[in-house]
Amino acid sequence: MLIVSKYLIPKGFKAFTVFPFVILNDKGLKQDRVLLNHERIHLRQQLELLIVPFFIWYGIEFLVRYFKCRNRNTAYRAILFEKEAYDNESNFEYLKGRPFFNFVNK
């Protein structure tokens, strides 16, 4: 389900996914196929980890990577979940054949 709200999105981001919602900061993003595919990949990841563990893993991994590199953007892009989503966001067939827990291979 898509929700548009610029107030629910962290600063510097276009979208945020919390199963089963994809929250966008602008209604024009509903037409952005690449962004929506990226967020669908996160939905699949969240389902695989039963939602709450996904966010715990995500938060811990971000903190570990941030303390290593001291750069918020670099730490964010190095998170396994984000690497999988960015690497495959333009592949609109990716989720059809995506292996289970594929983010661990990044």
pLDDT at residue 55, rounded to an integer:
98
Strands 2-4 and 21-24: parallel
CA distance 26 to 97: 30
Amino acid at 88: N
CA dihedral over 85, 91, 92, 95, signed as positive or negative: negative
Identify whether the C-beta of residue 35 lies closer than 8 Å to the C-beta of residue 15: yes
Give pLDDT, residue 78: 97
Displacement of CA 106 from its chain's centroid (Å)? 14
Q: How confident is the model at residue 106, as a pLDDT? A: 81
User: Please, is 45 exposed, middle or buried when counting C-beta atoms within 10 Å of its C-beta (0-12, 13-18, 19+)?
Assistant: buried
Residues of the chain with pLDDT under 70: none
Q: Model's pTM, two decimal places? A: 0.95
